[in-house]
Structure 1
Amino acid sequence: MTAELFLQTVVNATYAASYMALIAVGFVLIFGVMGVINFAHGELYMAGAYTVVALYADMGFPFFLAVVVGLIFVGCLGLVMEVGLFRPLRDNPLGGLIASIGFLLILQTVAMMGFGVRMENVPPSTQDKIVFLDGAVLTYQRLYVILAAVGLLSALWIFLRKSKFGWSLRACAQDREAAVLQGISINQTARIAMFIGAGLAGVAGALTAPLVSPTPFMGHSVIVTAFIIIIVGGIGSLEGAVLVAILYGFVHTFVTTMYDGTLANIVGLLLMLAVLIVKPTGLFGAKERA
């Protein structure tokens, strides 16, 4: 591998790790606070991408306005899921899981009815590029994803550790019954967790829309990747999700570059199995949750 190819692969891996971290952290936050596995999380990512398709590509809205609308819209979809699906089934985790699969199919059907099954071509918001000394290229479109991941995840970390609502989320994730005894509203914390978790998936989809050619089925691979990341990182560990997203992004990108994508997917699954054999709770499963 030449120095130029190595640096380009590092750039590509950093981008991949950034949007994976946004999706995985949102997934972990929802599970940690609400105790539900949201199978529709990949379709929330898809909904963010199609928001940009509708507003930016089709209607000509400014790109970043479309991204902000995508974040808010998908966050509100999360609130609808929390109130309409997960809250009535709070004491029935299996029922919540099945309900999320049903919502997944609804979102896919709505996307197919509204946009068809073809891949959408979303033009980049800018053609500018950063060229490094060794010839590697970082487009501004990918840079936006990296900066958004760093900014949003840093803001979430501060929110969880410095704000009253953040403390409530962490308390519910650690012991829901004890949190209730302390006067914390489960409904309120569930709404906050669902809005933030869904919003992170939505903004990831919105920012990557010009890079991935959105389709109604784009959430399938995303949810599989998110499962691998949270299982390896430790179910409920936000820190584990971020670190494993970086690890997985680099491993997957380097294997894809040197060999092919199919082998990269197999390596990802083998990595998950190896970690589960050595440490069944995941790399950070024993640490503090959320």
Structure 2
Amino acid sequence: MIEMMIEQRRRSLGGGLEVGRILPFARRRMVGPFIFFDHMGPMDIAAGVDRSLDVRPHPHIGLSTVTYLFSGEVVHRDSLGSEQAIRPQEVNWMTAGSGITHSERFEKARAVGDHLHGIQAWVALPKGDEEAAPSFSHHEGDDLPQWDAAGVRGQLIAGQAYGLTAAARTHSPLFYAHLELAAGARAEIPTAYPERALYIATGAIEIDGERYEAGRMLVLGAGASSFQALAPTTAMVLGGEPVGERFLFWNFVSSSKERLAQAAEDWKAGRMKLPEADHDEFIPLPSADTSPPPMS
């Protein structure tokens, strides 16, 4: 059963970078702990692209950002001193907790051009971990269990599903997986979590006898346990246990509106450390929460 279908809304992040915004949605703010979901690209970037395409240093609190690419390369730098290029089928997992700043730069694209395509997600932290110490981890290879059977190639990005466990530390029960399906292949959807969704990045699928095209997230009811690809398809399945109501302002997530206001004041006043390797510019605090957030 499909509880809701959410179509991506195209949003410009400035500098020519455009995304398909899925979450948050007016009638569905979260799926499990997932509070933000952007489909980045696909877009071709010409060599010598202007630096305005880059995502300059900006802050986060109360969440983990999850960066996952189908193609392209992005360089992450943060206020902990981390510097890490992410490439296809790798994961950058950054937990903001009490506060972190980071940037994302398209350095490969600037040098030789690139084809950028990926997903940016935020996972809200449970109340007991909202003020945890910030951290960053990069995962590839055996950290991200894979399988290949009956026309379905899968990779577990985070959490537990399909009898597998990914390496990134999560703070609440969740799952997040990337599936590549041949036309006609059928994939199972994990059923052990109370809130689940399926996002069609490319291709088309059939579920409950209905056809759905790319660019749509299907919020799943309890009965939905599988889907069939009607064409070669890239899909993301995700969900988990709810963490409770969360408020969102710009790049900040919290169970407290007062904490959001404090974070905004801290950034405006320059009290949040910038990345040591990328501290010469930053994104100013917007004047209203209608401003689009950076890509992660």
Same fold (TM over 0.5): no
Greater relative contact order structure (CA < 8 Å, 6+ sep): 1
- Comparing both structures, which one devotes a greater share of its residues to helix? 1
Q: Normalized against structure 1, the TM-score is what?
A: 0.26
More strand by share: 2
